[in-house]
A = this chain, B = another copy of it.
Amino acid sequence: MLTNIGSDRVKSVRALSRRAVRERESLFLAEGPQAVSEVVAHRPDAVQNLYFEALERTGHAGTRQQAVLDVAAENGISIREVSHEVLVAMSDTLVPQGLLAVCRPIDVRLDAVLDENPRFLVLLTNVRDPGNAGTVIRGADAAGADAVLLSDSSVDIYNPKVVRSTVGSLFHLPIVAGVPIAVLLDRVRAAGLALLAADGSGDTLLGDIDLARPHAWVMGNEAWGLEPDVTAACDTVVRVPIYGKAESLNLAMAATLCLYQSAGVQNRPGIR
């Protein structure tokens, strides 16, 4: 069991809370039972090391932890027991809840996504808040979107707050990151997808748009929306209707509504 909170290993894991270190080392953290359970189950190849603090076996948390450790062992993942103090010292969060995984990047190349003939995607540009980005990824997963694409001007998907707020969805569907927005728009359009800008300024209502053809939702910064040249590059600017007195919806709510509208149409019999 690792108990030395001053060890180089503990320091090097903790340092992954910083973006520069994540990029230099090509590693990131998945923390807590939900994220660790999902990466171990869906992307075991991405796990470099799994650390756990042994929990009381009889309780719910202990049972859940044991199930995660069993799957990890079956998948040949390197597992190390650590003390509570070491786990806290390694973690970005105050409550790591017994499990932490050091992972290799899981993002995929844009080509790999487009080669699969995606039906609908979401493309985020200039999204800066980790919680918003993570919640959009979770919503895209729930809606069955084929991938999430993030421009290089967006928050780092390996930020621990993004990882936590995806609640495991980061490991469920393909994610593309770090590509300039102009390249994303050109390539997605060239692959035959309609580009739908989601923006409160749109003159087309969400319910009035054809979502049976392949398409990508393009969503911008949580405060100031999409840049004019991005909106201009899209085929249609779509607005979620506001029925009451609210000025707007937040990014995650608007994205979830758009993606579920797509899901409802794409999952009708006869489509694809």
Residues of A within 8 A of B (CB): 34, 42, 135, 138-145, 167-169, 172-173, 207, 240-250, 252-253, 256-257, 260, 263-264, 267
**The 8 nearest A-B residue pairs measured at CB:** A144-B243, A172-B245, A142-B246, A141-B246, A144-B244, A141-B244, A253-B256, A243-B263
Give 7 A-B contacts (CB < 8 Å), ordered by A residue.
A42-B245, A135-B253, A138-B246, A138-B250, A142-B249, A167-B246, A256-B256
**Residue pair A247, B168 in contact (C-beta under 8 Å):** yes
Q: Within 8 Å CB of A142, what residues of B?
A: 240, 242-244, 246, 248-249, 253
Please give me the residue from chain B that is nearest to A249 by CB atom. B142
**Residue pair A246, B135 in contact (C-beta under 8 Å):** no
Q: In whole angstroms, what is the CA distance A267 to B243 when docked?
A: 9
Q: In whole angstroms, what is the CA distance A250 to B34 when docked?
A: 14
Please give me the residue from chain B that is nearest to A260 by CB atom. B257
Please give me the residue from chain B that is nearest to A139 by CB atom. B253
Q: In whole angstroms, what is the CA distance A207 to B248 when docked?
A: 24
Q: Within 8 Å CB of A167, what residues of B?
A: 246-248, 250
**Residue pair A245, B139 in contact (C-beta under 8 Å):** no
**Residue pair A244, B135 in contact (C-beta under 8 Å):** no
**Residue pair B252, A253 in contact (C-beta under 8 Å):** yes
Query: In the complex, given contacts A138-B253, A141-B245, what are 19 additional A-B residue pairs having Cβ atoms less than 8 angstroms apart?
Result: A139-B249, A139-B253, A140-B244, A141-B246, A142-B240, A142-B246, A143-B244, A145-B244, A167-B247, A169-B244, A169-B246, A172-B245, A173-B244, A173-B245, A207-B264, A243-B263, A256-B257, A257-B257, A257-B260
